[in-house]
Amino acid sequence: MTLKPLKMNKKVTLHDKNFVLFKTQDQINNTIKKIATSINSMNPINSVFIPVLNGSFMFTSDLCKELKILPEIQFIKVKSYEDFESSGKVTELIGLKDSLEGKTVFIIEDIVDTGITISNLYNKIKLMNPKEIYVVTLLFKPDKYNGGLDINILYGFSIANDFVVGYGMDYNELGRNLKEIYVLKE
C-alpha cells in the first residue's frame, strides 16, 4: 500500500456553505506554543484546566502537549450556538463535579465572541472559590465581545466578526476535524 500526502485544501464545503482557508496548521501550532510558554511562565500550582466542549477539544489537546505544568483537567459541555448565531443563552450539558476551591482555574475555549458563555462559566466558577480564574482561547473577537466582565484572557488570534470552522469548531456539527481554520466565504 502506498500512501500519498494530502494537499492542504484552500477551501471546504460544509452542508450548503463554502469556507476558505484562514489559519494554517503551522500558524495554529506556533500560536499554541506561545500560549503554552505564557502559561508555563506563570508556573501555576494546583491548577485546573476546564475545556469547554465540544469546540475546544483539539486546542486543549495540543496546548496540554506543550505544557511543563501538570494541571487537573475537568471537562464541561455547554451549548450556546445555533447555525451561525449565538442563541443568547447557555445550556449546560455536562457540568463540573470536583472542587475548585483555592485552585488556579483556566477556562479553555476555542473562540470567545459575545462573551455570553464565558461570563456564565466565569460567574459559576467564581462561586466555587478558586484562587484565580483565567480564560485561554485560541480565537478572540474583541469587536463582538460584550461579556461585561473584567477577565484575565490569554488568546492566540484576534479576529474580525467572521464565522469560522475547523480545528474543533463546526458548522452544524461538521468541520471539527479539520487541521486548519476556515472562514465563511459570502
- Indicate if 26 belongs to the active site: no
For residue 119 the three cell numbers come to 461570563
Q: Which residues are CB-neighbours of 113 under 8 A, at least 6 positions away?
A: 86, 141, 144, 145, 161
The catalytic position among 62, 110, 113, 170 is 113
HEC-encoded secondary structure of 148-165: CCCCEEEEEEECCCCCEE
For the CA atoms of the chain, what is the radius of gyration?
17
Which residue type, as a one-letter code, is found at position 3?
L
Q: What are the catalytic residues?
A: 113
